[in-house]
Amino acid sequence: MRRGPRLLGPRRPSGSREEGARSALIAFVSTLILSGLALWVVLTSEAWPRVQRQFFNPSAFREVWPDVVSGFWLDIQMFLVAEVVILILALIIAMIRSLRGPAFLPIRALAIFYIDLVRGIPVILLILLLGFGVPALQLSGVPDGRLFWGVTALVLSYTAYTSEVYRAGIESVHESQRMSARSLGLTQGKTLWYVIVPQAVRNVIPALLNGFVSLQKDVALVYVLGIREAVRAAQIYNARTFNYTGYIAAAILFLLVSVPVARFTDWYTERDRARKQAMSA
């Protein structure tokens, strides 16, 4: 009970077991009544048959499901590849930004320039620019695949955001940690890698997971390049039938992935806080 997500509201000093059981019962009953009411209002509404036909149509769902699923599988693959690259690249850039001393100024400035530039451009613009623009140059040795460039655009954009998340983590580690490591004779790089980064990453895991959820949905944007992922597959069905059930099918698939990640993030944050409290106690 204590470790679980705090669905029952903020933690209070523990009362008797009887009281806990009673509040759980109240929560259960009121949830049941409220959701029952909401469902009843929707299902008895005059517009419901039309809504059902256009949005929740079982036969349309069966028809469009295989296309949307295969499109979604592509979304997942793009997401996984992009996420791994992003986590590595972003950490490198954040470490570069955290280097001190005048000698590192040029690469520090370069990192800042990259982050400012890419974060200031809409993702969709990056996708169009790289996905259509770069291959049109027909440079030899440069790939022209739209999957490659679509994922590259996402990686570039998300790396900028993620490196800022890492940097916030690095800055949250107390200065004394750095000083102690340096006084032990560790170089600047080693201090970062062995002392600062491990603590920093742990501090920002919830924020990183948040980025996961965001990217997992944004991969769909590469559909503008003609890639038939889940949203485009649903759109093609919609264009043929004017039925929106395909969009609902795609939404369900995205939710199936993003909701567990969101719940996991909550659970992890709670556990981490409990652990820290236990340590300081």
Partner 1 sequence: MRTKFGLILFVVLTLVAAACGDDDAGDTTTPTTAAATTTTAADATTTTAAVTTTTEVDACAIDQLNLVTPGVLTVGTGEPAFPPWVNSITGGGFDEPESKEGFEAALAYEVAAHLGFADDEVTWVRTTFDEAVTPGEKSFDFNLQQYSITAIRDEVVDFSDPYYEVKQALVTVVGSAADGATTLEELKGLRLGAAIATTSFDLIESVIDPDTEVSVYNDNVDVQSALIAGQIDGFVVDFPTAFFITNVTLTVDEVGQEGVIVGQFESPGDEPEEFGLLFADGNPLVSCVNEALAALRSDGTLAALEQQWLVSGADVAIFG
What is the distance of C-alpha 273 from the center of its chain? 21
Overall size of the chain counted in residues: 281
Question: Dmax over Cα atoms in the chain, in whole Å?
Answer: 75
Q: How far is the CB of 15 from partner 1 (least distance, A)?
A: 9
47 binding partner 1? (CB under 8 A): no
* Cβ distance to partner 1 smaller for residue 54 or 177: 54
* Cβ distance to partner 1 smaller for residue 28 or 268: 28
Helix boundaries (H) for the chain:
17-44, 48-55, 58-98, 105-119, 123-128, 134-136, 146-172, 175-183, 188-190, 197-218, 230-241, 245-280
* Cβ distance to partner 1 smaller for residue 34 or 92: 34
* Cβ distance to partner 1 smaller for residue 29 or 255: 29
Rounded CA separation 182/45 (Å): 69
Report the residue from 21, 24, 39, 41 that binds partner 1 according to the rule CB under 8 A.
41
241 binding partner 1? (CB under 8 A): yes
Rounded CA separation 199/275 (Å): 14
59 binding partner 1? (CB under 8 A): no
Rounded CA separation 89/95 (Å): 10
CB atoms within 10 A of CB 279: 7
Rounded CA separation 132/126 (Å): 10
51 binding partner 1? (CB under 8 A): no
140 binding partner 1? (CB under 8 A): no
Number of residues that bind partner 1 (CB under 8 A): 33
228 binding partner 1? (CB under 8 A): yes
Rounded CA separation 16/23 (Å): 11
- Evaluated on CA atoms 273, 275, 280, 281, the torsion sign reads positive
132 binding partner 1? (CB under 8 A): yes
What six digits make up the tokens of 54? Answer: 């256009």
Binding mask 109-128 for partner 1 (x = CB under 8 A): -------------------x
Report the residue from 63, 104, 114, 135 that binds partner 1 according to the rule CB under 8 A.
135
Q: How far is the CB of 34 from partner 1 (least distance, A)?
A: 7
* Locus of tokens 């499901």: 65
* Cβ distance to partner 1 smaller for residue 224 or 251: 224
Binding site for partner 1 (CB under 8 A): 19, 22, 26, 29-30, 33-34, 37, 40-41, 128, 131-133, 135-136, 138, 144-146, 224-228, 232, 235-236, 238-242
